[in-house]
Amino acid sequence: MPFYQTPLPGLWIFEPRVFEDERGYFFESFNQQVFAEHLGQTIHFVQDNQSKSSYGVIRGLHFQRGSYAQAKLVRVLSGKVLDIVVDIRPESPTFGQHFALELSAENRLQLFIPRGFAHGFAVLSPTAEFFYKCDNFYSPQHEGGIAYNDPQLNINWQIPTELQIISAKDRALPSFAAFCNQF
């Protein structure tokens, strides 16, 4: 199972081996032993989440704080998204940098996001179903976020501004500078 390192330490692209024939396809989307061998640690996923969104929806940038931080393994079941992660680990050499990757049902790529990253995605297809495994339970009291359109982060979401669909909650998220002031 191939893993590819991204420019952000700890953030890995996983490309599963796909077996296709006239009946369809099969692939192993997660194997704890293989991931543990590659990552050098065992990840115990405890919660699976799935969402369906329409073109132009931007979700994020979200994270969980403190002992409720979450590592995630994300993928797209149908459609196509632009997945975005921002390194929010103050001690990291890539603090404040972001990484973008197109995930789709066709490319079947997955992104392993360690704890210490804000995460979001934009839907690039008419609809998309997004699936993610989490290694910690969701806690509303510990959720945080950063404005998706923060000029300091300068993220190109690949959706024209007039077609972006953002929740009121996500529109109210603080800037990256406000996030940094917490340290």
Selected catalytic residue, list 62, 98, 119, 148: 62
55 is catalytic: no
Q: Pairing between strand 117-123 and 110-113? A: unpaired
Residues in the chain, overall count: 183
Cβ-based neighbour number of residue 132 at 10 Å: 21
Selected catalytic residue, list 98, 119, 132, 148: 132
Answer whether the bond into residue 124 is a cis peptide, omega within 30°. no
98 is catalytic: no
Q: Pairing between strand 58-64 and 143-145? A: antiparallel
**DSSP-assigned beta bridge partners for residue 67:** none
Reported as type and span, the H/E element at residue 122 is: strand 117-123
Active site residues per annotation: 62, 132
